[in-house]
Amino acid sequence: MKYVAGVDIGNATTEVALAKIDGTDLTFLASGIGPTTGIKGTLQNISGVFMSLKNALEKVGMDYSDLAEIRINEAAPVIGDVAMETISETVITESTVIGHNPSTPGGTGIGVGTSVLVTELSKIKEAKDVIVIVPDKVGFAQAATLMNQAKENINITGAIVQADDGVLLNNRLDKKIPIIDEVAMIEKVPLGMTCAIEVAQQGSILSTLSNPYGIATVFHLNSEETKRVVPIARSLIGARSGVVIKTPTGDVKERSIKAGTINIIGLKKEVDVDVDEGADKIMEAISVIQDIDDIQGETGTNAGNMLNNVRRVMAGLTNKEPKDIKIQDLLAVDTFNPQKVVGGIADEFALENAVGIAAMVKSDRLQMEMIANVLTEKLKVPVYVGGVEADMAIKGALTTPGTSVPLAIVDMGAGSTDASIINREGKVKLVHLAGAGNMVSLLIQSELGLDTIELAEDVKKYTLAKVESLFHIRHENGTVQFFDKPLDPSIFAKVVLVKENDELVPLDGVESLEKVKQVRMDAKKKVFVRNAIRSLAKVSPTGNPRDIQFVVMVGGSALDFEIPNFVTDALADYDIVAGRGNIRGCEGPRNAVATGLAMACVTEE
């Protein structure tokens, strides 16, 4: 009799299956899970292995020294990044056009005039239309008094305010005007220049300043100048308010970085594809090459920089030269990426087309042997590289009640989507593909312009609601939930994430629940539905997914409240029966690889 452990080092979590072997009998004792430390497939993973093993051993009162053998998976690292489409970055010099979109404007309508400090209104002699500039040092009450006392020949058509005082100022004015507030860098606003301010009615959006030709009409621009204000107009699309300022001798410079081409190198041929053509063209090119040896990007371009960065990161972690790092697969997805409008007065952004790319580095058994050797030395227990993930996952998946061969599995993790199929004779065919849960989070962060990847992870994992009063919320499915105690006033009227125990986390700066929901769902479909079909096509005996009858979904992402449903629905179009696995009848879709690694200890007895 001996005790063994299977350890699956994933991109996000490290999972353990602890078992007792007595002859050919195997009994599972406990499971463990912990966060993966470092990038999968590197020596940094060792701390995570220790934590996960300890988590499992403590459940049955055992120690590391009680183990006779540990099997770890053959890990293939995956790194995701965003390679942008060709973007013209508008560089603002001392004279040009700038835009802004605050969240709490005052008044409504459009106003055009010359920018003047509020404290200088009394010095104006000639009749003119003016836009008043109100810096922080002038309070809203004082500003309102100065504006109400302005001479009759001065027509105040709007105001630009540094503080968050738009509504307070407008309430104190004799004549209501559009007001743009929250202009943090008000010192950048040039004085004596023509300004245009627009504030739409509540519930409406800009119509003039979000239109390049609207801006051209206001400022009398020629066709070349109109071309250059497109980033400003785009940054204000969908906004309720905005301001655009033009100085007389505008000098706009443009700098473009090419998206570049991706070179897919096979054992027999290679294919080039331009990132500008979009994700579908890239994935078509990937599908043409059966056995990929490496994938490279054009030097000096966004695609080249991204793929070279993957090589540099992995080279640094594995003590290799970048040129020796080979990329075996990538997943490309069309998305959007907020790009800062350089020279803006309050960090304006414009959504630009982008291609999100997840790249998978070829697994290095020697690197995994290094991890195994270090673990053996530290634990004083023999540690072996037990097998590739997709092979081990199918062994574990077959412990799901109601399954038998032939069977295909789709292992949906954080970094990769793996598939394998086993026929009646026990022969296994497998594939590892780039792109999974981490890619979904990256797309969500990119498209919603979220500050952190951790927040994007939460958007991926939890449902949404709108706080409609201090005592009730409306969930994204339309149902209403009431509370006995009043909610925190700071989340009133906000879109929130509904976490465990009814914890409500506000998504600041997000106004549309429907938009967040759509971005979340689209990101999951773009990654997991595409990769499920792609992976099954590669393991199918005929290359056609329709020739597969039964599929079990395993892996951490199979726990998601939407992803399995999306994949099941999509595979139904191919007449495939697909469902979420339940490893060993108790683990749900998790622990398949770790379970398979532990089982391999018996088959090799």
The whole-number pLDDT of residue 350 equals: 59
Q: Is residue 422 part of a domain?
A: no
DSSP 576: -
7 Cβ neighbours under 8 A, 6+ residues apart: 14, 15, 16, 49, 52, 53, 70, 71, 72, 73, 594, 597
- Six-digit token string for 135: 């810096």
Give the integer Cα–Cα distance in Å for 201 and 218.
Answer: 20
Q: Are 596 and 393 in contact (CB under 8 A)?
A: yes
Mean pLDDT by 10 residues, the chain (605 residues): 94 95 94 92 92 96 95 75 45 48 82 94 90 93 93 91 90 92 81 90 88 92 84 78 72 60 92 90 92 89 83 79 88 79 56 80 78 94 86 92 92 90 90 90 89 94 96 96 94 94 90 92 96 94 90 95 96 94 96 95 69
Statement to judge: residues 147 and 184 lie in one domain: yes
Statement to judge: residues 235 and 133 lie in one domain: yes
Residue 319 DSSP SS3 = coil
Q: Which of 315, 346, 361 is the last residue of a domain?
A: 361
Residue 105 DSSP SS3 = coil
Q: Is residue 180 part of a domain?
A: yes
CATH number at 270 reads 3.90.470.30
CATH number at 225 reads 3.50.30.70
Domain enclosing residue 387, as ranges: 1-76+364-399+587-605
Q: Which of 361, 390, 411 is the last residue of a domain?
A: 361
Q: Phi and psi at residue 404, in whole multiples of 5°?
A: -160, 170
The whole-number pLDDT of residue 493 equals: 92
The whole-number pLDDT of residue 115 equals: 92
Statement to judge: residues 102 and 230 lie in one domain: yes
The whole-number pLDDT of residue 80 equals: 57
Statement to judge: residues 220 and 263 lie in one domain: no
The count of other CB atoms within 10 Å of the CB of residue 75 is 29
The whole-number pLDDT of residue 410 equals: 95
Q: Which of 251, 272, 300 is the last residue of a domain?
A: 251
Statement to judge: residues 59 and 130 lie in one domain: no
Q: Is residue 21 part of a domain?
A: yes
Give the integer Cα–Cα distance in Å for 372 and 367.
Answer: 9
- Six-digit token string for 108: 């409504």
Helix (H) or strand (E) holding 552: strand 550-554
Q: Is residue 347 part of a domain?
A: yes
Q: How many domains does the structure of the chain reveal?
A: 3
What torsion do the CA atoms of 163, 166, 169, 172 make, to the nearest 10 degrees? -160
- Beta strands (DSSP E) in 63-191 are 69-74, 78-84, 87-91, 97-100, 109-117, 128-134, 154-161, 179-180
Statement to judge: residues 223 and 152 lie in one domain: yes
The whole-number pLDDT of residue 378 equals: 94
- Six-digit token string for 582: 């339940």
Statement to judge: residues 308 and 346 lie in one domain: yes
Q: Is residue 530 part of a domain?
A: no
Statement to judge: residues 4 and 72 lie in one domain: yes
Statement to judge: residues 24 and 38 lie in one domain: yes
The whole-number pLDDT of residue 511 equals: 74
Q: Are 84 and 128 in contact (CB under 8 A)?
A: no
Identity of the residue numbered 439: M
Q: Is residue 178 part of a domain?
A: yes
The whole-number pLDDT of residue 341 equals: 57
